[in-house]
Structure 1
Amino acid sequence: MNISVNKERELVKEILTKIGVKENQADVVTEATIDSDLKGFTSHGLGRFPQYIRGIKRGHIQIDGEYDIVQETESIALIDGKSLFGQYIAHEAMSLAIEKAKKTGIAAVGTFNANHFGITGYYSDLAIRNDTIGIVICNTEPGVAPLGGKKAILGTNPVAIGIPSDTYIAVDMATSVSARGKLLEAQRKGEEIPPNTAIDKDGNPTTDPEAALEGSILPFGGVKGYALSLMIEIMSGPLVNAAFGTKVTGTAGDYKENCNKGDLFVAIDPSKFVPIEQFKADVEEFVTEIRESGDTFIPGDLEVKRIAENEVKGLDIDEKLYDTLENNL
């Protein structure tokens, strides 16, 4: 079925309000959800809400209280998210990083004890809108085996980078062949996953999402994806007082335990290097050079196209998911 963007916004806000989520937090969660679905990352948008609802009912997502800043310097902060909605904590963390970067040139804010926050790129976009470069990384529950291994130890460990420019320039990707959310979505819809995406628990290739979830997703790009994922695991685990490797819980599934993954938000103010107008002009010159080189694209082009199309035609949602959400109203 298909619903309008406004209908989804109303549905999400209504669910959150009924549950008792505070308005300031509900607003952020709603907009992050809409952003995911508009960009086509449906596995991280409305499709995650049954998981969030279970998390709240089981006490693993808190809707009362506030976060704590447990460490802080002029350019660094560490936030204890107190198990609040991940979207809210991530928004607050990146906002703080931007504020600090505007003063010092570069800032990093880490978070721990916060929940799944949707798509990573929503927060690097926040930096873009404030004329700063945004870099966001996080770890997740183990779902990826180290290169050559059979046991899932690493998370899908996404990275997002956004560049302030007249052209939307942004990348948001998992360091695995597929995000875990896409496997969960395929499982819910009863669909197969593409070949060469995952292996089962015995190390055999599989297109069955359930077998893949019990086994391991493959790192993208072989050794390069594996190495990048490992570095992200360290910088969003031990560095920010969060869990790592097989200790990470609560980012997928039924919220049987608290979410203990970590996140790192970095903001860089280009104006502390060169005038912002010069920076943007140089970036645009580079973009033009890329476009004139052939039938190519700029990272972010696909998202811009999807947003424009989805705002007109509406958002596709499978009826099973919609019925599940309607039953929670």
Structure 2
Amino acid sequence: MRISSSAEKTFLEKVFATDGFSEHDGALLADTLVDADLRGISSHGIQRLAWYTSMIKEHIIEPKNKVKVLKETPTSLLIDANKNMGQIASAFAMNSLIDKTKKLGISLAVIRNSNHFGTAGYYARLAAKQGLIGIALTNTRPLVVPTNATEAFLGSNAFAFTFPADPHPFVFDGATSIVSSGKIQVLAKNNQPIPGDWAVDDQRHVVTDAQKVEDNLAKVAFTEDEPGGGVLTLGGLLEQNSNYKGFGNSLVVELLTGILAQGSISADTNKPGRHDFSQFFLTINPALFGELDDLKQRATKMFDRIRHLKHVPGTHIMIPGDREYKHYDENLKQGVVIDDKTAQELETIGKQAGVVVPQAI
């Protein structure tokens, strides 16, 4: 079914209020989930609410805890998210970096003791809206098997990069694994098979049963059991297809997040009493190197040339960000799509919280 994005946001804000979040924090959390749904990234939208709610009940997430700045310089921040949602510390970090970068040209932040933060692109776009280059990274729960391994160790380790351009910023936002776990969750909820070589079992054999993979990932991510298997790195199953490059990309994110922030690496976020994700943010003022309007024009010309290359009939060449901005405009008018299983979860959450669930439009 489809529901209006405004009704979704109101529902989420009310649920987050009952969970103990402040009005400001609840509005931010709701905005990140609605933004994902509007952009067609349902894996990181309202379908995450049941997971968030369970982590709040288990005190993995502490809604009333405040962000702590542990160390600060004119161009850097070290932040303790203090077991609250990753969105709260991440928005604070990015907004702080935007102010710093406007003054000094470049700045970066790392966060530890955090949680899931939604889509990485949400924060990188905050920088792009201010005419800056934005980068956002996160590690995650252990999901990904390194090249030739048969057990999960790495996170899906999202990477987002934005650059000012017209008619919208360039926005690359994706996992450094072959796919995010959220996409497998959505397939499992809808009883659909995995369409590609995304995940393997403990013998490194490809598995296409989405529910089986999701059950296995849950065991890996939330217990110290090691059933084996997990999501593949970019490059897929075989080393001959350069999957070591995807492995390397994931390790870069681990180094800039868990290691640099002195938090847990992805492999250790499932230890008892631990669920501390880490994040990394970087903002750069392109005006350090030239006039912003000129740089935007150069980037826009390059993207337009690519969009108009000769291509396979019946297809389109799209620049990262094109599809999401198209979905955003369409879903703002038509409403966002909610799958049946998520709709059932929302009914349960709504009853528990005493909040009316949005109706289909």
Question: 2:176 & 2:262 partners in 1: Cα distance?
Answer: 22
Question: 2:23 & 2:158 partners in 1: Cα distance?
Answer: 28
Aligned with 1:236: secondary structure?
A: helix
Establish whether residue 17 from structure 1 lines up as the match of residue 26 from structure 2. Answer: no
Q: Which amino acid aligns with 1:274?
A: G
Aligned pairs for 1:274-285 (under 5 A) are 274-285=290-301
1:284 Cα deviation from its structure 2 partner: 2.0
Alignment check: 8 A CA contact 1:134 1:161 kept: yes
- Residue 219 of structure 1: aligned partner: 233
Q: Which amino acid aligns with 2:213?
A: A
Question: 1:258 & 1:323 partners in 2: Cα distance?
Answer: 30
- Residue 253 of structure 1: aligned partner: none
- Residue 225 of structure 2: aligned partner: none
Establish whether residue 186 from structure 1 lines up as the match of residue 184 from structure 2. Answer: no
Distance 1:160 1:153, change over 3 A: same
C-alpha deviations, 1:195-220, integer Å up to 9, x for none?
31110123211011243342211111
- Residue 143 of structure 1: aligned partner: 143
Establish whether residue 243 from structure 1 lines up as the match of residue 257 from structure 2. Answer: no
Distance 1:321 1:110, change over 3 A: same
Distance 1:304 1:294, change over 3 A: farther
Q: Which amino acid aligns with 1:216?
A: G
Match of 1:292 among 308, 312, 321: 308
How many residue pairs get aligned? The number is: 324
- Residue 328 of structure 1: aligned partner: 349
Unaligned runs of at least 5 residues, structure 1: 251-255
Aligned pairs for 1:31-46 (under 5 A) are 31-46=31-46
1:15 Cα deviation from its structure 2 partner: 0.9
Question: 1:157 & 1:305 partners in 2: Cα distance?
Answer: 25
Aligned pairs for 1:91-170 (under 5 A) are 91-168=91-168, 169-170=170-171
Question: 1:88 & 1:136 partners in 2: Cα distance?
Answer: 14
Aligned with 2:63: secondary structure?
A: coil
- Residue 68 of structure 1: aligned partner: 68
Give the TM-score taking structure 2 as reference length: 0.86
- Residue 318 of structure 1: aligned partner: 339
Alignment check: 8 A CA contact 2:266 2:277 kept: no
Q: Which amino acid aligns with 1:310?
A: N
C-alpha deviations, 1:39-81, integer Å up to 9, x for none?
1111111010001111111111111131111011111111000
Q: Which amino acid aligns with 1:109?
A: A
C-alpha deviations, 1:5-45, integer Å up to 9, x for none?
11211211121122221011011101100111111111111
Question: 1:208 & 1:293 partners in 2: Cα distance?
Answer: 37
Question: 2:334 & 2:79 partners in 1: Cα distance?
Answer: 39
1:123 Cα deviation from its structure 2 partner: 0.6
Question: 1:147 & 1:65 partners in 2: Cα distance?
Answer: 38
Question: 2:292 & 2:151 partners in 1: Cα distance?
Answer: 47
Question: 1:83 & 1:245 partners in 2: Cα distance?
Answer: 16
Aligned with 2:146: secondary structure?
A: coil
- Residue 177 of structure 1: aligned partner: 178
Question: 1:233 & 1:121 partners in 2: Cα distance?
Answer: 18
Unaligned runs of at least 5 residues, structure 2: 217-228, 236-242, 312-316, 351-361
Question: 1:123 & 1:294 partners in 2: Cα distance?
Answer: 34
Question: 1:321 & 1:285 partners in 2: Cα distance?
Answer: 41
1:180 Cα deviation from its structure 2 partner: 0.7
Aligned pairs for 1:296-307 (under 5 A) are 296-307=317-328
Aligned with 2:349: secondary structure?
A: coil
Question: 1:78 & 1:14 partners in 2: Cα distance?
Answer: 31
Alignment check: 8 A CA contact 1:144 1:156 kept: yes
Question: 2:189 & 2:34 partners in 1: Cα distance?
Answer: 20
Alignment check: 8 A CA contact 2:258 2:277 kept: yes
Question: 1:227 & 1:121 partners in 2: Cα distance?
Answer: 21
Alignment check: 8 A CA contact 2:72 2:78 kept: yes
1:268 Cα deviation from its structure 2 partner: 0.4
1:258 Cα deviation from its structure 2 partner: 4.2
Aligned with 1:108: secondary structure?
A: strand
Question: 1:75 & 1:50 partners in 2: Cα distance?
Answer: 37
1:245 Cα deviation from its structure 2 partner: 4.0
1:289 Cα deviation from its structure 2 partner: 2.5
Alignment check: 8 A CA contact 1:56 1:62 kept: yes
Alignment check: 8 A CA contact 1:93 1:109 kept: yes
Q: Which amino acid aligns with 1:235?
A: L
C-alpha deviations, 1:269-297, integer Å up to 9, x for none?
11122121222122222223323333422
